[in-house]
Amino acid sequence: MKTFKARALIISRLPPSHAAKRLADELLSLDIQVSWFFPEQRDDTISEALASKPNLVINRLLGDEVSLSEVLNSCSELEASLPESAMVINDIRSVRTALSKSSQSQALTAAGLDQVKEISNVQAHDHQDLLSRLGLPYIIKPDTGYGGDAVSLCSSPDDLRGALREVGSRMAVAQAFIPSASITSRLLMFRESLIVAYRRIAEPGKWKANFSQGATLELYTPTESERQSANLAMECIGLDIGGVDLVAGESGPIVLEINPSPGLAGAEKISGHNIAGQIAQHSFGKLTG
């Protein structure tokens, strides 16, 4: 009888993030062969990625990759070339949606989820228009990106011009500023299963609640409505793995965004749990049925 051998292919930026490397280590500990596909590398071809005959593909793109559109197209081509029996964790359709804040917003709206008010293609709007629709201050950020990079708080035309210079050639989105978002809840999910939940608390006097921006973390037990919002957000985007960021609203949780490649260092430190190992186990379980 032929022994089943799991062979994983991790799609990643170059260099791989800490979370991607942690996941690779845990897959190897399960006796799963691991290979990598770096779509940013033009010489890292699809045929070479397929040569490892992967039956488990895990997408760990972050959204800051150079030439992101070309990267996503390469991933689409790779997926189309996989055998039907291959299992894909975070398929390219869901990742493409999740990496764009404007696409996320459209999906969340269609699902009827409360979310922060947002305006896409900011370059086509002036300060007065944004002020009238979002109030003051408002937030400018790249449509793609993560970790609070190039995210600015704006209260004047000069602020807006400076924020757009920081965004650069990327498309920008504007969002209403929610003061309570200095404390956000992150629910790390594998499909409908909650892996861990914690709060991210911005440094005193600051408003960005990103771990990479100095926020502190504390374990948190989400409410039933928060779990339902996170489940529905994962479902409408189509992700298998994701970090759903929520903030308290007057009528219930508000979805800030969904991260398809959430970091693990903070979650593992605050929980004391092997989160990467749980994700590896969940992924392997999905492959084997």
Q: Mind listing the pLDDT tens digit for each residue in 150-195?
A: 999 999 999 999 999 999 988 999 999 999 999 999 999 999 999 9
What is the per-residue burial (b if ≥16 Cβ within 10 Å, else e) of 94-117? bbbbbbbbbbbbebbeeeebbbbe
pLDDT in tens, 199-247: 999 999 999 998 888 899 999 999 999 999 999 999 999 999 999 999 9
**Do 28 and 72 share a structural domain?**
yes
DSSP 211: G
Report the share of the chain in percent with pLDDT over 70: 98
Could you give the number of structural domains in the chain?
Answer: 3
Q: Are 11 and 34 in contact (CB under 8 A)?
A: no
Q: Is residue 44 part of a domain?
A: yes
pLDDT band at 101 (very low <50, low <70, confident <90, very high): very high
The mean of the pLDDT values for the chain is 93
**Do 162 and 26 share a structural domain?**
no
**Do 172 and 58 share a structural domain?**
no
Q: Which helix (H) or strand (E) element contains residue 108? A: helix 101-110
Of the residues 176, 203, 222, the one at which a domain ends = 176
Backbone CA torsion sign across 202, 203, 207, 210: negative
Selection from 185, 158, 160 nearest residue 174 by Cα: 160
User: Is the pLDDT higher at 44 or at 106?
Assistant: 106
Q: Is residue 195 part of a domain?
A: yes
Residue 53: the pLDDT is 95
**Do 195 and 248 share a structural domain?**
yes
Q: Is residue 226 part of a domain?
A: yes
**Do 226 and 106 share a structural domain?**
yes
pTM, entire model: 0.94
**Do 51 and 21 share a structural domain?**
yes
Q: Are 192 and 234 in contact (CB under 8 A)?
A: yes
Task: State yes or no: pLDDT of 44 exceeds 80.
Answer: no
User: Is the pLDDT higher at 66 or at 121?
Assistant: 121
| Residue 142, domain extent | 118-176
Query: CATH number for the domain including 170?
Result: 3.30.1490.20
User: Is the pLDDT higher at 43 or at 60?
Assistant: 60
